[in-house]
Structure 1
Amino acid sequence: MPRNEHEIRLMMEKNDVFIQAAAGTGLINRFIWVWPPYSEEEKPYVSIHLEVGLMYTEENALLTCYCMKSNYINFEHSCVWIQRAEYEGEDEKYFNIERKKCRDMTLGGTVEIVSTDKAIELAKSGSWIKASDSVILDIDEDFYGCEAVSAPLYDAGMNEDDIEGLSFYVGKILCTDNAKDEMKADRYFQKLLKAVQETLKRCHSGRLGEETCESNHAFTEAVLALMPDMTTTKDIMCLPKESTLVMLENLVERLSRCSDTQLQHIASIGVCMYASPRSSNFNRNDAMILCKGCNGPNSKRVIFHSTNEQEIATTSRNLKEMLTQAFIPKVVTVCRSVRDGYTPRKEFPLIEEGVLGVLKAVYPDHVTDDTIHYDSELLGGRGGWYFRY
């Protein structure tokens, strides 16, 4: 059980863990995960019944254990206990046990993993989810597509060290703790990029002396001369002016090595907080990064899929068919997945318009413009990040 408020918040926020926590409290006893149409599943439908119990080790330690039953998967060992990962990036370990060792299995539930086509078929059957069922509906906008935000930087010849180096110095210079200041910091960064581009042009044309253009310190001074006075932006700066100048010199030096194409892509991506300030692990002093998302283009953790206007319309029709059933959800949550760089940022407005349009059409008496709440800390605000200017 959670020992303090911080652990309760972690249970509610941590990726996937919030679902386990909801099941562990008995809030939910059936979890249906519909895969997006662009994914490749081995089977269109899988159902697993999970039971959770307790077991004692030889050292009399009390541990949680799990047993699984399914008509769709053959488990070589149906019961396990899990050794939790102790460090970030470490995998948890599974240990097989006999069913009789897992006792007091009072908690249980069903997990269903379903393809989009199968979900539509089941919805039309009329018997999949009943009108009397109490449902939480969660829609993640990356159901429509998934892209690596940093891909244009790699395509333009940058590597991971280049990108992480820029991000490091951004985080040492700019510090914010709310979405309004986040936009202010990004505007400052945009002006810095333009000042670097202008100073490079002046160097290449010979309008600035060789001494200025070959000295990192002098080049930075020339860039800052085109910028607003730092006293007007001190509320978004991490350090005292002298320390910030040292970090700015490092950042400007790295930016000056970028090509014009690379600088344009960096401007499009911008800088943002690494996580929503509502997150329990948020720290203002580590907040700002190059807004590159969680996964690079070579990541094996996610399925990438670019989308377009026609495909977005098709996915919205699929979503409407899935939701046209007898039940009315008690609550609907929509996740943009834009800050972490999953949902394609350029297509996000069309995707969100499609999702909300479906909800209004399927639940006209419950979902209206007046009943939709937007988190005030959304990346880029209600209008979104890509078209922020």
Structure 2
Amino acid sequence: MEGTGSPDAQASRLIPYWFDAAKSFNNKKAVLLHIDAHSDMDYPELVDEFPIGHFPHSNNEMKTLMQANDEFIQSAIITNLIQTVYIIYPYWTFNTSYAYTSSLGITTINNTKQICMCLNINTTDNNTDNDVDNIDDEEEDHCKTRNQDNPLNDFILSSNQCPKTWLYHYIELNSLTASNILRYSNYWSLNKLLNLNLINHSKPMTLDHQGNQPNPPPPPPPPDHHHRDDYLPLILDIDEDFFGVHLVTHNLLKSGLNINFIHTMNSIISLIFCPIHYINEIHIDQIYRWLIEHIYMNIHLRNNYKSIIDHNQLMMILKKTNKTLQITDIFCHNYTLYLIKLNELFINNTITYHQIDVLKYVGVCFTNSLITYQYIPEIHLCLGHNLPNQSLVDEFLPISNDLLKLAIHFTQILLTIPYQPNIVTIARSSRDGYTPRWLQYDIELMILNILKKVFHLTEKNIIYTNHLAGDKYYGWYHRFT
């Protein structure tokens, strides 16, 4: 395998690995197979030094591609890395299939240049598949861009407002039927879009909208483990939230804490902890757990409503956590004032020990990966980016049967890949609050075991990136077990 399996907390941080693998692409654009509960197809910002139309030539240009967690695929298209995108959703969030020939361009809205997208370019007139809905059959392009006033809704454009600069195939599939379409579709199969006339294991066939086959073919052979120079490059990208999504704030709400308390505590936490450089967030989380435990003990067991946390006590817990740390390394300038406010917040809301326990398990962490573009380190409750009733993200808490079903779908999808990908990347989606944290280690272990089996990999092929949330191998949930 030319690339590596690289678990990372957030998907956009894997972009440098993609471009490193692209050194072997021989100037060919890649096909991306993206397995995820969300599309990750948002628009990147056209910031200074963004590499428009070319691979990044410097570290600064590379950094501009690592913006918000769901913008990295469009960045890869604009930099001429990718020509085809397959998005494969789990059955629980998406139950149909669509195929487009799409384009990205640059438009100007209110004197600001920004990325725009057009769907429905008519290049598939001869496509006779009925396994996917081809939006290309309509007359007009559907063009849109980010609505800066309301980011959850696109700003609709006319086709002449969005130049078709970067063309790409875009296919959305669901896990129930994805493997059949990837293998047998006359127009959208992997073999077709990878231009593999030499690899044709089975006769193409037409499927219905449910992916049913009148005569199932014999089992396919495993992927070819030798990558030929005449093959198109292939990137396999896996997000662990394919196997389930949990909105972490629900844990706090179910414990009886209200949303106003959560917002207030978040604000106070960000004014207590101000790391001036990279510090392992595990250390900050340990201090946070000690603080809220100490405040609770003062209030409920000593009947003392005053915070008695002083400088010496903080130094003691700092040295237990990491002997090299100083108060000025972690705490804000006026942290004592906000420790008092945290104490008052707990008193006014009559916090129970069960709620303290839930707050400890949620913990505090950086709101983004440390290498996110222009990110200033900020510590908050580790809730992720989506609050209940303020998110378009669906929650799905899998039981064992769901995990088994998704594992089967995942394996079937991998077995449609005709040769080893140039690189396989994995995103934990833990810091952004998607993958159920109590299942994250098991989900990751399952993914890695399937990858090893299908592509004949070993532990030596797996690289864990820096700055992962929680334990390097076990994740955030098991960080103190």
**What TM-score, normalized by structure 2, do the two folds share?**
0.67
Give the drift of 1:229: 4.2
Matched with 1:338 is 430
Any unmatched runs of 5+ in structure 1? 214-218
Paired residue secondary structure (1:31)? strand
Q: Is the Cα–Cα contact under 8 Å of residues 195 and 223 in structure 1 kept in the other structure?
A: no
1:181 aligned to 2:280?
yes
1:380 aligned to 2:470?
yes
1:163 aligned to 2:269?
no
Q: After the TM superposition, which of the residue ranges 228-237 and 293-302 deviates more from structure 2?
A: 228-237
| 1:141-160 deviation line (CA, Å, top 9, x unaligned) | 00000011110211122222
Rounded Cα–Cα distance in structure 2 between residues aligned with 1:265 and 1:306 = 18
Give the drift of 1:329: 0.6
Which amino acid counterpart does residue 359 of structure 2 have in structure 1?
A: I
1:279 aligned to 2:356?
no
Q: After the TM superposition, which of the residue ranges 325-334 and 351-360 deviates more from structure 2?
A: 325-334
Q: Is the Cα–Cα contact under 8 Å of residues 65 and 79 in structure 1 kept in the other structure?
A: no
Given candidates 346, 349, 358, the residue that maps to 1:255 is: 346
Rounded Cα–Cα distance in structure 1 between residues aligned with 2:71 and 2:289 = 37
Matched with 2:358 is 265
Rounded Cα–Cα distance in structure 2 between residues aligned with 1:181 and 1:52 = 38
CA distance 1:38–1:299, change in 2 (3 Å): farther
1:4 aligned to 2:49?
yes
Which amino acid counterpart does residue 96 of structure 1 have in structure 2?
A: S
CA distance 1:236–1:268, change in 2 (3 Å): farther
Matched with 1:324 is 415
Given candidates 132, 141, 148, the residue that maps to 1:79 is: 141
1:358 aligned to 2:445?
no
CA distance 1:316–1:291, change in 2 (3 Å): same
CA distance 1:106–1:185, change in 2 (3 Å): closer
Given candidates 282, 307, 311, the residue that maps to 1:220 is: 307
Q: Is the Cα–Cα contact under 8 Å of residues 136 and 330 in structure 1 kept in the other structure?
A: yes
| 1:241-279 deviation line (CA, Å, top 9, x unaligned) | xx2211111112213332222211101101111111111
Given candidates 120, 133, 156, the residue that maps to 1:68 is: 120
CA distance 1:225–1:231, change in 2 (3 Å): closer
Rounded Cα–Cα distance in structure 2 between residues aligned with 1:275 and 1:298 = 22
Rounded Cα–Cα distance in structure 1 between residues aligned with 2:135 and 2:237 = 26
Q: Is the Cα–Cα contact under 8 Å of residues 243 and 435 in structure 2 kept in the other structure?
A: yes
Choose between structure 1 and 2: higher helix proportion. 1
Matched with 1:368 is 458
CA distance 1:21–1:201, change in 2 (3 Å): closer
Rounded Cα–Cα distance in structure 2 between residues aligned with 1:269 and 1:28 = 37
Q: Is the Cα–Cα contact under 8 Å of residues 85 and 169 in structure 2 kept in the other structure?
A: yes
Matched with 1:306 is 397
Rounded Cα–Cα distance in structure 1 between residues aligned with 2:190 and 2:240 = 22
Rounded Cα–Cα distance in structure 2 between residues aligned with 1:164 and 1:297 = 13
**What TM-score, normalized by structure 1, do the two folds share?**
0.82
Which amino acid counterpart does residue 91 of structure 2 have in structure 1?
A: P
Any unmatched runs of 5+ in structure 2? 1-45, 51-59, 123-132, 197-230, 320-325
Rounded Cα–Cα distance in structure 1 between residues aligned with 2:137 and 2:277 = 47
* Mapping of residues 136-175 of structure 1, within 5 Å: 136-175=235-274
1:94 aligned to 2:156?
yes
1:29 aligned to 2:74?
no
Q: Is the Cα–Cα contact under 8 Å of residues 349 and 384 in structure 1 kept in the other structure?
A: yes
Which amino acid counterpart does residue 78 of structure 2 have in structure 1?
A: G
Q: Is the Cα–Cα contact under 8 Å of residues 173 and 247 in structure 1 kept in the other structure?
A: yes
Paired residue secondary structure (1:117)? coil
Give the drift of 1:334: 0.2
1:289 aligned to 2:334?
no
Matched with 2:179 is 120
Which amino acid counterpart does residue 64 of structure 2 have in structure 1?
A: L
1:107 aligned to 2:152?
no
Paired residue secondary structure (2:91)? coil
Which amino acid counterpart does residue 118 of structure 2 have in structure 1?
A: Y
| 1:150-186 deviation line (CA, Å, top 9, x unaligned) | 1021112222221111111111111237775311111
Aligned residues: 364
| 1:40-61 deviation line (CA, Å, top 9, x unaligned) | 43x2x2110114568899x9x9
Matched with 1:17 is 71
Rounded Cα–Cα distance in structure 1 between residues aligned with 2:284 and 2:92 = 36
Paired residue secondary structure (2:380)? strand
Rounded Cα–Cα distance in structure 1 between residues aligned with 2:291 and 2:469 = 21
| 1:98-133 deviation line (CA, Å, top 9, x unaligned) | 6xx876x56311100001011122245397213633
CA distance 1:230–1:21, change in 2 (3 Å): same
Give the drift of 1:27: 1.5
Rounded Cα–Cα distance in structure 2 between residues aligned with 1:89 and 1:280 = 19
Given candidates 276, 296, 299, the residue that maps to 1:200 is: 299
Rounded Cα–Cα distance in structure 2 between residues aligned with 1:77 and 1:229 = 70
Paired residue secondary structure (1:29)? strand
Aligned CA RMSD, in angstroms, stands at 3.3
Q: Is the Cα–Cα contact under 8 Å of residues 136 and 332 in structure 1 kept in the other structure?
A: yes
Rounded Cα–Cα distance in structure 1 between residues aligned with 2:312 and 2:118 = 64
Give the drift of 1:74: 7.1
Paired residue secondary structure (2:120)? strand
